[in-house]
Structure 1
């Protein structure tokens, strides 16, 4: 009879995909304070600008992040940086600085983004070019060459970079669904991170497309800090490259949307505010 009873027992329920509490708190209800913080940000020296350099594998969403930040600050969909629509598409070929215009047409926010060619095992940006960009040696319009680095006698080599030419925050953009990247690419990310660390440049990781990783996040972005699988992915990448968890931010870029979404804005503003906070001390040390 004991055997009959054991056979009649229902199977245990599957483990919950959620933590009992979010592992990171974020204010989903009020984007206005974060938006105001970004809009009112001013470096101590009015002639300074915070330079944010983006790098990462092709198709991860570097250009989309730039466009998404501009969309949030403008309150409408905005497209300035060209976006590759397939994973293999690499549209960013030149070193380009993106300024974000304020409400007045003659004023800009005191931070700029630099996009780079994607990191891949053979055709991507040369690691040494990213290192040179960190130091401010790469000039606007330089066309990346995967086979060779920028030489000192090239017309796009900046021999005397100013504090504004140098990078103040390095941002690695990673597709949350493609963490099983080739070892060569992972090693390039580590090499760039080491150079930034040697230069005292803070580093941030943006994890894009979390909604494609988990149906629970796709259902509601508010689940992003509740879902176990995403945190596991972040912890794995943190351990692999040595970037602490409090410098890693999941973000959904604007892609198919035609209207602004409050939850999308919340994640973008959270990442952007921390990028500014991490970079501000660098402006003082590089004066």
Structure 2
């Protein structure tokens, strides 16, 4: 018997392909952040896989339990997704940024101050994060004059649905980052990974994501802990042991990507309106003079 499919894969893909930069941006920049082991790099690989013909492992991800308490990603990296990995160098008009994971303690994992500077576009590709000191303005990887494409347009918090609880010190760091994103007007989403490991019923059939009481309770806990509304929290299964495409996995990933793009587009539209309004005000003042 064929497994039930989570419907709408082609429709979601069609909507994703409709996005075209037209408000001054060349692409949408999506920053994924969260605790160590939440699946940030795996999510980027999985989205790339869902959009492509083959499964991707470009973003280095760690599956070793022995190092699960420390971040495997240490550098700031931008990941572009090719529309046809074999015949063309054309990329999708959105990019994902991977960063060091958050850890408990003041001198462990990425510093909230660095994430704030990343959101503002002040950190260049290749910067190695330092858990005990934020990037300084005299660093070669510091960008003093960020353009619209250097800045983050969507902030995505990655959380593992399989974790028992989030360390209070990590939640405090998340809150600090979220408050800065709020002040900058950057839209915020959360994605729960490892949903198959969190719930046996989902492991049996991924479509049970819509029926799982356990997952619903877990998402409510996430919402309460990090302050993100339930309708902005989605569940996905990252590709891990699979060697070929699975429609249900792809569809959940594309649903998440569609929400990311929709929120990013709304943000750049708002920024463009602000810029136009400011320009009109300056023109009016110039005429009066």
TM-score normalised by length of structure 2: 0.87
Equivalent in 271, 275, 283 of residue 260 of structure 2: 275
SS in 1 for 2:29: strand
Aligned equivalent of 1:7:
none
Aligned equivalent of 1:101:
82
**Alpha-carbon distance between aligned partners in 1 of 2:53 and 2:212, rounded to the nearest angstrom:** 29
**Alpha-carbon distance between aligned partners in 1 of 2:143 and 2:113, rounded to the nearest angstrom:** 15
**Alpha-carbon distance between aligned partners in 2 of 1:235 and 1:142, rounded to the nearest angstrom:** 35
Q: Where has structure 1 moved over 3 Å in runs of 4 or more?
A: none
Equivalent in 222, 225, 228 of residue 207 of structure 2: 222
Gaps of 5+ in 1: 1-26
Gaps of 5+ in 2: 273-289
Offset of 1:48 from its aligned partner?
2.0
Offset of 1:89 from its aligned partner?
4.7
Aligned equivalent of 2:227:
242
Equivalent in 144, 159, 173 of residue 188 of structure 1: 173
Q: How does 1:1-287 map to 2 (within 5 A)?
A: 28-45=6-23, 48-86=26-64, 87-103=68-84, 104-122=87-105, 123-287=108-272
Aligned equivalent of 1:12:
none
Count of residue correspondences: 261
**Alpha-carbon distance between aligned partners in 2 of 1:160 and 1:201, rounded to the nearest angstrom:** 19
Which deviates the most, 41-50 or 208-217? 41-50
**Alpha-carbon distance between aligned partners in 1 of 2:92 and 2:31, rounded to the nearest angstrom:** 16
Offset of 1:180 from its aligned partner?
0.8
SS in 1 for 2:133: coil
Offset of 1:36 from its aligned partner?
2.0
Deviations 1:193-248 (A, max 9, x none): 11101110000101000111111110001011211111111111111221101110
- Contact conserved, 2:236 with 2:249, CA < 8 A, in 1? yes
C-alpha RMSD of the superposition: 1.4
**Alpha-carbon distance between aligned partners in 1 of 2:24 and 2:49, rounded to the nearest angstrom:** 25
Per residue, is there more helix in 1 or in 2? 2
